[in-house]
Structure 1
Amino acid sequence: MNDWTTSHDRVLAQRDAEGWTFLIEAARDLRTTGAIAPSGRALARALTEPVRARAPRPLAVLEAGAGTGAVTRALIPDLPRASRLDIVEANPRFAARLRRLVTTHPDLAARPAQVNVHQTYVEQLDTDQRYDVIVSGLPLTNFTPAQVERIMARYLELLHPGGTLTYFAYLGTRRARALTASRAEARRHAAVDEIMATYQRTCATGRWTVWANVPPAYVWHLRRPPVRAGHPEAHSVEAHSVEARSVEARR
């Protein structure tokens, strides 16, 4: 058996193990896992595009809801030198897997201190750091409107003015839930969609459709507005949060 075959078999085995891990965790709690399979390569690349766009200057990057590390593995090789990556994952089994990834990834052999895994919810992340890019893998459409409000407010708080948030949503989930879920569940999903539409109207810089993912997904890039002269930094964050809360209040 040659070296290429051995390496190829190892990659396939790793992907199979990752898929099974994801499936097991989805069976435990689909609400917080969000899918039954990790993000595909095309989706990971679309989510991490703002990191490549800002290279080669050093960046502070946050990945929230990293799961088994499918997006993390796409992200690490693109980190400019002297950058910082904080990875947030609440699931303890996923977090343990991410720590192993960080300690064994060849691109991090000479700079392990630049990447840290935090087992927590992003709303509870204890840090004074502000980020140039936030990559969100959280299944926002699986949460309640109030939870989405807290997550989005925290994202904007953690972003530098002018920083970019990237996140994804699977195609057709609202229609599928309208046909198969209870009325309360369909209303919850619709309310979350309206909250996110508010942020899209005010902050979106682009949307891409990733057909190669299973299932296909939209990727959104949102930019936190720069702080305007004469306005405190918190004003821009609160303005988006108040508008989104008003959407929820009308439900």
Structure 2
Amino acid sequence: MDDSTTTSHDRVLAQSAAGGWMFFLEAARDIRTTGALAPSGRALAHALTEPVRSQAGRRLNVLEAGAGTGSVTRSLIHQLPAGSRLDIVEANSRFTDRLRHLVRTHPSLAGQPGQARVHHAYVEELDTGHRYDAIISGLPFANFAPHQVEAIMGRYLELLRPGGVLAYFAYRGSRQARTLLSLASRAQARRQQAAEEVLADYQRHYATGRSTVWANLPPADVWQLQRPVERAPGASRESAAAAADR
């Protein structure tokens, strides 16, 4: 390995370590909106970005919500088909600054201004004028009130194109852990259970798959939900399937 390769590798490791510390500090500052103590690991990032890989070969509009320090964003950038658009929305201003630096300096985006855009906003309020083939969500639903989960999921469906896919994750055992921690946490556990019931309703109507990522800390379930293809009155199943493929 030559010196230039070593330097590049060391730079990537340094950026990753810095991102991990930044995530930890933001979690300590506001665990409610950060939702974890560490960024998503590689295995979780790989599972979350499957909807992009499954639609490879054509231009895509992709939205990432709750990008944090960019651990999943880096994976998305590498997988974007040529000519695709990536919108990244993040409510934490410190994370937003880091994400904008990532977009400005990532080699895969060189010479492609506007392919990836960072928005400092809540996803419920996001209005880019686009619909998306894939939405990758890193938002900490377990930390939100049920009405917030309902608002976010409703907005996701509005932003998806017919046939578009949403991927999001949920840590395994987090509600049970909250219940065991202390009596004061039981109210939080009840709130989380109510939020999970909102998600379960969306899963019953729209889920197309679920996988468990054991190689993450903590382990997480990754759900995929699909917005139904809109069919004209009297349209056959075959024509609807063909429309979904286009």
* TM-score, L = length of structure 1: 0.89
- Which of the residues 177, 196, 200 maps onto 1:193? 196
Q: Gapped runs of 5+ residues in structure 2?
A: 235-246
Tell me the SS of whatever aligns to 1:54: coil
Report how far residue 229 of structure 1 moved: 3.0
RMSD: 1.4
> Post-superposition shift, 1:180?
1.9
Give the Cα–Cα distance (whole angstroms) in 1 for the partners of residues 145 and 210 of structure 2.
Answer: 23
State the number of aligned residues.
231
Q: Secondary structure at the match of 2:114?
A: helix
In the TM superposition, 1:157-176 aligns within 5 A as: 157-176=158-177
Per-residue CA deviation, residues 1-26 of structure 1 (Å, 9 max, x unaligned), is 83343333222211211111001100
Distance 2:11 2:164 in 1: 37
- Tell me, yes or no, if the aligned pair for 1:102 and 1:112 is still in contact at 8 Å: no
- Of 180-189 and 159-168, deviating more is 180-189
Matches within 5 A, 1:35-74: 35-74=36-75
Q: For residues 213-244 of structure 1, what are the alpha-carbon distances to aligned partners after superposition, in whole Å with 9 as ceiling and x for unaligned?
A: 1111111110011123349xxxxxxxxxxxxx
Please name the residue that 1:84 is paired with: 85
Q: 1: CA distance between counterparts of 2:12 and 2:56?
A: 28
Deviating more after overlay: 180-189 vs 217-226: 180-189
- Spell out, residue by residue over 1:119-139, the C-alpha distance to the aligned partner (whole angstroms, 9 max, x if none): 000011122211000000000
Q: CA deviation at 1:46?
A: 0.5
1-structure distance, mates of 2:186, 2:218 = 24
Does residue 207 (structure 1) correspond to residue 210 (structure 2)? The answer is: yes
Letter of the 1:99 partner, please give it: R
Task: After superposition, give the CA deviation of every residue in 1:129-157 in whole Å (9 maximum; x if it has no partner).
Answer: 11000000000111000100100010000
Q: Distance in 1 between matches of 2:129 and 2:104?
A: 24
Q: For residues 215 and 51 of structure 1, what CA distance do their matches in structure 2 show?
A: 24
Give the Cα separation in 2 of the matches to 1:129 and 1:192.
28
Q: Are residues 1:183 and 2:186 paired?
A: yes
Q: Amino acid of the residue matched to residue 203 of structure 1?
A: Y
Structure 2 match to 1:226: 229
**Distance in 2 between residues matched to 1:215 and 1:109, nearest whole Å:** 35
> For the residues of structure 2 that align with 1:173 and 1:30, how far apart are their CA atoms?
13
Q: Quote the residue 1:119 is aligned against.
A: 120
* 3-state SS in 2 of match to 1:117: strand
Show CA shifts across 1:187-216 (max 9, x none): 101101111111111111111111111111
Whole-Å separation in 2 of the counterparts to 1:142 and 1:228: 36
Counterpart Cα distance in 2 of 1:167 and 1:208: 11
Partner residue, 2:240: none
Q: Does structure 1 residue 216 correspond to structure 2 residue 219?
A: yes
Is 1:108 aligned to 2:115, yes or no?
A: no
| Counterpart code for 1:27 | A
1:183: how far off? 2.6
Q: Secondary structure at the match of 1:113?
A: coil
- In structure 1, the partner of 2:98 is 97
Counterpart residue identity of residue 184, structure 1: A
